[in-house]
Structure 1
Amino acid sequence: MELLNHDSFLQRLAALFESSKDHGSIWLTHKRLIHDGEDVAMAQADPADDTREYPCLVRVTDGGDAKFSTHVNSGELQKFHAAYGALLKASMGTLRKRDKKREKQRVEQAARRKKKMTDPVVVDGPKRGNGRKKRQRQLKAEAKQLESQRKAKEREAAGAKSASAS
Protein backbone atom coordinates (compact mmCIF):
# COMPACT_ATOMS: atom_id res chain seq x y z
CA MET A 1 0.00 0.00 0.00
CA GLU A 2 1.38 3.34 -1.05
CA LEU A 3 1.45 6.20 1.48
CA LEU A 4 0.79 9.61 -0.11
CA ASN A 5 0.57 13.20 1.03
CA HIS A 6 -2.88 14.83 1.14
CA ASP A 7 -2.79 16.59 -2.23
CA SER A 8 -1.58 13.61 -4.24
CA PHE A 9 -4.00 11.37 -2.32
CA LEU A 10 -6.95 13.54 -3.34
CA GLN A 11 -5.72 13.77 -6.95
CA ARG A 12 -5.39 9.99 -7.25
CA LEU A 13 -8.76 9.49 -5.58
CA ALA A 14 -10.38 11.85 -8.10
CA ALA A 15 -8.73 9.94 -10.95
CA LEU A 16 -9.94 6.65 -9.45
CA PHE A 17 -13.50 7.97 -9.21
CA GLU A 18 -13.30 9.08 -12.83
CA SER A 19 -11.97 5.72 -14.04
CA SER A 20 -14.67 3.74 -12.22
CA LYS A 21 -17.54 5.98 -13.30
CA ASP A 22 -19.10 3.43 -15.65
CA HIS A 23 -18.51 0.30 -13.60
CA GLY A 24 -16.55 -0.85 -10.59
CA SER A 25 -16.42 -0.19 -6.86
CA ILE A 26 -14.21 1.82 -4.59
CA TRP A 27 -13.72 1.08 -0.89
CA LEU A 28 -12.83 3.93 1.47
CA THR A 29 -11.66 3.15 5.01
CA HIS A 30 -11.14 5.59 7.87
CA LYS A 31 -9.62 4.55 11.16
CA ARG A 32 -7.49 5.83 13.99
CA LEU A 33 -3.85 5.04 13.38
CA ILE A 34 -2.06 3.23 16.19
CA HIS A 35 1.39 1.76 16.14
CA ASP A 36 2.52 -1.56 17.56
CA GLY A 37 2.68 -1.50 21.34
CA GLU A 38 0.67 1.70 21.77
CA ASP A 39 -2.59 -0.19 22.11
CA VAL A 40 -1.51 -1.24 25.61
CA ALA A 41 -1.61 2.42 26.68
CA MET A 42 -5.36 2.41 26.03
CA ALA A 43 -5.88 0.49 29.31
CA GLN A 44 -4.73 3.39 31.50
CA ALA A 45 -6.69 4.03 34.66
CA ASP A 46 -7.23 7.76 34.05
CA PRO A 47 -7.90 8.65 30.40
CA ALA A 48 -7.81 12.38 31.23
CA ASP A 49 -4.02 12.17 31.65
CA ASP A 50 -3.61 10.91 28.08
CA THR A 51 -2.74 13.93 25.90
CA ARG A 52 -1.51 12.03 22.87
CA GLU A 53 -3.14 12.72 19.53
CA TYR A 54 -3.54 9.90 17.09
CA PRO A 55 -3.59 10.54 13.33
CA CYS A 56 -6.40 9.29 11.13
CA LEU A 57 -5.57 6.72 8.46
CA VAL A 58 -7.58 6.98 5.23
CA ARG A 59 -7.26 4.06 2.83
CA VAL A 60 -8.61 3.61 -0.69
CA THR A 61 -8.77 0.49 -2.84
CA ASP A 62 -10.67 -0.60 -5.90
CA GLY A 63 -10.15 -4.28 -5.18
CA GLY A 64 -7.39 -4.50 -7.76
CA ASP A 65 -4.21 -2.57 -8.43
CA ALA A 66 -5.14 0.75 -6.84
CA LYS A 67 -4.27 0.74 -3.13
CA PHE A 68 -3.12 3.92 -1.47
CA SER A 69 -3.52 5.76 1.82
CA THR A 70 -2.70 8.92 3.73
CA HIS A 71 -2.23 9.95 7.36
CA VAL A 72 -4.17 12.99 8.58
CA ASN A 73 -3.05 14.63 11.82
CA SER A 74 -5.69 16.17 14.05
CA GLY A 75 -4.54 19.72 13.26
CA GLU A 76 -4.99 19.14 9.52
CA LEU A 77 -8.27 17.27 9.84
CA GLN A 78 -10.65 20.18 9.14
CA LYS A 79 -8.80 21.25 6.00
CA PHE A 80 -8.48 17.68 4.73
CA HIS A 81 -12.15 16.83 5.33
CA ALA A 82 -13.27 19.99 3.55
CA ALA A 83 -11.34 19.01 0.41
CA TYR A 84 -12.23 15.33 0.80
CA GLY A 85 -15.95 16.10 1.27
CA ALA A 86 -16.00 18.36 -1.78
CA LEU A 87 -14.39 15.59 -3.85
CA LEU A 88 -16.90 13.01 -2.61
CA LYS A 89 -19.87 15.27 -3.34
CA ALA A 90 -18.60 15.93 -6.84
CA SER A 91 -17.99 12.23 -7.49
CA MET A 92 -21.23 10.93 -6.00
CA GLY A 93 -23.31 12.75 -8.59
CA THR A 94 -22.52 10.03 -11.10
CA LEU A 95 -24.07 7.25 -9.02
CA ARG A 96 -27.13 5.52 -10.38
CA LYS A 97 -30.34 5.62 -8.41
CA ARG A 98 -31.69 2.35 -7.14
CA ASP A 99 -34.40 0.76 -9.25
CA LYS A 100 -37.11 0.67 -6.58
CA LYS A 101 -39.75 -0.51 -9.03
CA ARG A 102 -37.81 -3.70 -9.79
CA GLU A 103 -37.14 -4.30 -6.09
CA LYS A 104 -40.84 -3.90 -5.35
CA GLN A 105 -41.71 -6.41 -8.09
CA ARG A 106 -39.27 -8.95 -6.62
CA VAL A 107 -40.78 -8.57 -3.16
CA GLU A 108 -44.29 -8.98 -4.57
CA GLN A 109 -43.24 -12.10 -6.51
CA ALA A 110 -41.74 -13.61 -3.37
CA ALA A 111 -44.96 -12.88 -1.46
CA ARG A 112 -47.03 -14.52 -4.23
CA ARG A 113 -44.80 -17.61 -4.22
CA LYS A 114 -45.06 -17.90 -0.44
CA LYS A 115 -48.85 -17.49 -0.55
CA LYS A 116 -49.13 -20.06 -3.32
CA MET A 117 -47.05 -22.46 -1.25
CA THR A 118 -49.20 -22.07 1.86
CA ASP A 119 -52.70 -21.88 0.31
CA PRO A 120 -54.27 -25.34 0.15
CA VAL A 121 -54.97 -26.73 -3.31
CA VAL A 122 -58.61 -27.82 -3.67
CA VAL A 123 -59.00 -31.03 -5.63
CA ASP A 124 -62.51 -31.38 -7.00
CA GLY A 125 -64.14 -32.76 -10.09
CA PRO A 126 -64.80 -36.25 -11.42
CA LYS A 127 -62.16 -38.93 -11.68
CA ARG A 128 -63.52 -39.91 -15.09
CA GLY A 129 -65.28 -38.08 -17.88
CA ASN A 130 -65.58 -34.32 -18.29
CA GLY A 131 -63.32 -32.42 -15.88
CA ARG A 132 -60.79 -35.25 -15.52
CA LYS A 133 -57.91 -33.16 -16.94
CA LYS A 134 -58.72 -30.32 -14.57
CA ARG A 135 -58.60 -32.74 -11.60
CA GLN A 136 -55.27 -34.14 -12.83
CA ARG A 137 -53.80 -30.63 -12.99
CA GLN A 138 -55.05 -29.98 -9.46
CA LEU A 139 -53.47 -33.20 -8.19
CA LYS A 140 -50.20 -32.30 -9.88
CA ALA A 141 -50.29 -28.79 -8.32
CA GLU A 142 -50.95 -30.32 -4.90
CA ALA A 143 -47.98 -32.68 -5.24
CA LYS A 144 -45.76 -29.79 -6.36
CA GLN A 145 -46.91 -27.69 -3.40
CA LEU A 146 -46.16 -30.49 -0.93
CA GLU A 147 -42.70 -30.92 -2.46
CA SER A 148 -41.94 -27.20 -2.18
CA GLN A 149 -43.12 -27.19 1.46
CA ARG A 150 -40.87 -30.16 2.20
CA LYS A 151 -37.86 -28.41 0.61
CA ALA A 152 -38.60 -25.21 2.58
CA LYS A 153 -38.62 -27.20 5.84
CA GLU A 154 -35.31 -28.83 4.89
CA ARG A 155 -33.76 -25.41 4.18
CA GLU A 156 -34.98 -24.08 7.53
CA ALA A 157 -33.62 -27.14 9.34
CA ALA A 158 -30.26 -26.81 7.56
CA GLY A 159 -30.14 -23.09 8.38
CA ALA A 160 -30.95 -23.73 12.03
CA LYS A 161 -28.35 -26.49 12.18
CA SER A 162 -25.61 -24.28 10.66
CA ALA A 163 -26.58 -21.38 12.96
CA SER A 164 -26.34 -23.58 16.04
CA ALA A 165 -22.97 -24.94 14.88
CA SER A 166 -21.53 -21.41 14.60
Structure 2
Amino acid sequence: MVLLERKQFLMELTRLFQKCQLSVSMFITLKKYDGRTKPIPRKGSVEGFEPSDNKCLLRATDGKKISTVVSSKEVNKFQMAYSNLLRANMDGLKKRDKKSKSKKSKAAQ
Protein backbone atom coordinates (compact mmCIF):
# COMPACT_ATOMS: atom_id res chain seq x y z
CA MET A 1 0.00 0.00 0.00
CA VAL A 2 1.33 3.40 -0.96
CA LEU A 3 0.67 6.29 1.43
CA LEU A 4 0.42 9.53 -0.56
CA GLU A 5 -0.08 13.20 0.18
CA ARG A 6 -3.61 14.49 -0.38
CA LYS A 7 -2.96 16.20 -3.74
CA GLN A 8 -1.05 13.21 -5.07
CA PHE A 9 -3.84 10.89 -3.88
CA LEU A 10 -6.46 12.91 -5.76
CA MET A 11 -4.36 12.86 -8.94
CA GLU A 12 -3.82 9.08 -8.68
CA LEU A 13 -7.53 8.60 -7.94
CA THR A 14 -8.36 10.52 -11.12
CA ARG A 15 -6.05 8.19 -13.06
CA LEU A 16 -7.72 5.16 -11.47
CA PHE A 17 -11.17 6.44 -12.45
CA GLN A 18 -10.05 6.94 -16.05
CA LYS A 19 -8.39 3.52 -16.16
CA CYS A 20 -11.38 1.71 -14.60
CA GLN A 21 -14.07 3.53 -16.53
CA LEU A 22 -14.79 0.71 -18.96
CA SER A 23 -13.30 -2.52 -17.75
CA VAL A 24 -12.24 -2.93 -14.11
CA SER A 25 -13.99 -2.30 -10.81
CA MET A 26 -12.42 -0.16 -8.14
CA PHE A 27 -13.11 0.12 -4.43
CA ILE A 28 -12.86 3.13 -2.12
CA THR A 29 -12.90 2.80 1.65
CA LEU A 30 -12.89 5.36 4.43
CA LYS A 31 -12.27 4.66 8.08
CA LYS A 32 -11.13 6.29 11.29
CA TYR A 33 -7.38 6.25 11.75
CA ASP A 34 -5.73 6.58 15.13
CA GLY A 35 -2.12 6.60 13.94
CA ARG A 36 -1.22 3.05 14.93
CA THR A 37 0.76 0.99 12.49
CA LYS A 38 0.58 -2.28 14.44
CA PRO A 39 -2.44 -4.06 15.94
CA ILE A 40 -3.13 -4.04 19.68
CA PRO A 41 -2.02 -7.28 21.34
CA ARG A 42 -4.86 -9.39 22.72
CA LYS A 43 -3.25 -10.07 26.07
CA GLY A 44 -2.22 -6.92 27.84
CA SER A 45 -2.93 -3.38 26.85
CA VAL A 46 -0.99 -0.54 25.43
CA GLU A 47 -1.21 2.20 28.00
CA GLY A 48 -0.26 5.77 27.39
CA PHE A 49 -1.23 5.84 23.71
CA GLU A 50 -3.41 8.87 23.05
CA PRO A 51 -4.08 9.94 19.46
CA SER A 52 -3.28 13.62 18.99
CA ASP A 53 -6.32 14.37 16.80
CA ASN A 54 -8.95 12.56 14.78
CA LYS A 55 -7.85 11.37 11.36
CA CYS A 56 -9.41 9.52 8.43
CA LEU A 57 -7.71 6.90 6.31
CA LEU A 58 -8.92 6.86 2.71
CA ARG A 59 -7.97 3.93 0.46
CA ALA A 60 -8.62 3.21 -3.20
CA THR A 61 -7.77 0.02 -5.03
CA ASP A 62 -8.16 -1.73 -8.35
CA GLY A 63 -5.39 -4.17 -7.57
CA LYS A 64 -2.92 -1.36 -7.00
CA LYS A 65 -3.54 0.19 -3.58
CA ILE A 66 -3.20 3.89 -2.80
CA SER A 67 -4.11 5.65 0.42
CA THR A 68 -3.93 8.96 2.27
CA VAL A 69 -4.50 10.23 5.78
CA VAL A 70 -6.60 13.37 6.32
CA SER A 71 -6.56 15.20 9.65
CA SER A 72 -9.67 16.80 11.13
CA LYS A 73 -8.29 20.29 10.43
CA GLU A 74 -8.00 19.64 6.69
CA VAL A 75 -11.10 17.51 6.17
CA ASN A 76 -13.36 20.30 4.79
CA LYS A 77 -10.89 21.33 2.10
CA PHE A 78 -10.20 17.71 1.15
CA GLN A 79 -13.90 16.82 1.14
CA MET A 80 -14.68 19.56 -1.38
CA ALA A 81 -11.94 18.39 -3.76
CA TYR A 82 -12.90 14.72 -3.28
CA SER A 83 -16.62 15.32 -3.90
CA ASN A 84 -15.87 17.30 -7.07
CA LEU A 85 -13.70 14.43 -8.27
CA LEU A 86 -16.46 11.89 -7.59
CA ARG A 87 -19.10 13.99 -9.35
CA ALA A 88 -16.91 14.37 -12.42
CA ASN A 89 -16.10 10.65 -12.70
CA MET A 90 -19.29 8.85 -11.71
CA ASP A 91 -21.13 9.27 -14.98
CA GLY A 92 -21.52 5.59 -15.90
CA LEU A 93 -23.97 4.69 -13.14
CA LYS A 94 -27.36 3.25 -14.07
CA LYS A 95 -30.50 5.09 -13.05
CA ARG A 96 -32.82 3.17 -10.77
CA ASP A 97 -36.04 1.91 -12.32
CA LYS A 98 -38.87 3.20 -10.12
CA LYS A 99 -41.49 1.01 -11.79
CA SER A 100 -39.78 -2.26 -10.92
CA LYS A 101 -39.46 -1.16 -7.30
CA SER A 102 -43.19 -0.50 -7.02
CA LYS A 103 -44.01 -3.84 -8.71
CA LYS A 104 -41.84 -5.69 -6.19
CA SER A 105 -43.57 -4.03 -3.26
CA LYS A 106 -47.02 -4.86 -4.69
CA ALA A 107 -46.02 -8.48 -5.24
CA ALA A 108 -44.84 -8.77 -1.63
CA GLN A 109 -48.25 -7.63 -0.32
TM-score normalised according to structure 1 size: 0.48
Q: Secondary structure at the match of 1:75?
A: coil
1:67 aligns with 2:65: yes
Partner of 2:93: 96
1:10 aligns with 2:10: yes
Q: Which entry has the higher C-alpha Rg, 1 or 2? A: 1
| Whole-Å separation in 2 of the counterparts to 1:74 and 1:86 | 19
Where does the alignment leave 5 or more consecutive residues of structure 1 unmatched?
42-49, 112-166
Partner of 2:53: 53
Q: Secondary structure at the match of 1:15?
A: helix
Aligned length: 94
Between Structure 1 and Structure 2, the one with more helix by share is 1
Structure with the greater relative contact order (CA < 8 A, sep ≥ 6): 1 or 2? 2
Where does the alignment leave 5 or more consecutive residues of structure 2 unmatched?
none
| Whole-Å separation in 1 of the counterparts to 2:51 and 2:13 | 32
TM-score normalised according to structure 2 size: 0.71
User: What one-letter code is carried by the residue in structure 1 that aligns with 2:27?
Assistant: W
Q: What pairs up with 1:74-89 in 2 under 5 angstroms?
A: 74-89=72-87
Cα–Cα, structure 1 residues 40 and 6, in superposed 2: closer, same or farther, change >3 Å?
Answer: same
Cα–Cα, structure 1 residues 51 and 17, in superposed 2: closer, same or farther, change >3 Å?
Answer: closer
| Whole-Å separation in 1 of the counterparts to 2:58 and 2:6 | 10
| Whole-Å separation in 2 of the counterparts to 1:51 and 1:31 | 15
1:23 aligns with 2:23: yes
